[in-house]
């Protein structure tokens, strides 16, 4: 019996078998950006504090751009 898997499912299967977890880099980056934006409202961060809203919008756009 021949089973054909596409590359994505084969990669997920091999990473699960080895015990590694794939981390979505863009998700982590957008999470850190929005945390930085929220913190900059309460703590003065030189560039981020002036544009905290736009940093949060940018983090959302990064998150929305990923699958």
- Does some domain include residue 11? no
> From CA 24, how far away is CA 60, in angstroms rounded?
15
> From CA 59, how far away is CA 2, in angstroms rounded?
44
- Does some domain include residue 13? no
Q: How many domains does the chain have?
A: 1
- Mean pLDDT (whole number) for 13-28: 68
Residue count of the chain: 67
Three-state SS sequence of the chain: CCCCCCHHHHHHHHHHHHCCCCCCHHHHHHHHHHHHHHHHHHCCCCCCCCCHHHHHHHHHHHHHCCC
pLDDT given for residue 21 in this prediction: 66
- Does some domain include residue 37? yes
- Does some domain include residue 14? no
Q: Structural domain of residue 61, as residue ranges?
A: 23-67
Q: Has residue 54 got a pLDDT over 90?
A: yes
- Does some domain include residue 47? yes
Q: Has residue 1 got a pLDDT over 80?
A: no
- Does some domain include residue 2? no
- Mean pLDDT (whole number) for 11-37: 76
- Does some domain include residue 3? no
pTM above 0.75, yes or no: no
- Does some domain include residue 10? no
């Amino acid at each position: 019996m021949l089973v054909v898997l596409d590359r994505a499912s084969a990669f997920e299967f091999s990473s699960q078998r080895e015990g590694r977890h794939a981390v979505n880099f863009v998700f982590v980056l957008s999470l850190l950006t929005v945390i930085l934006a929220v913190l900059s409202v309460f703590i003065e961060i030189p560039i981020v504090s002036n544009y905290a809203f736009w940093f949060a919008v940018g983090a959302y756009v990064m998150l929305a751009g990923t699958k």
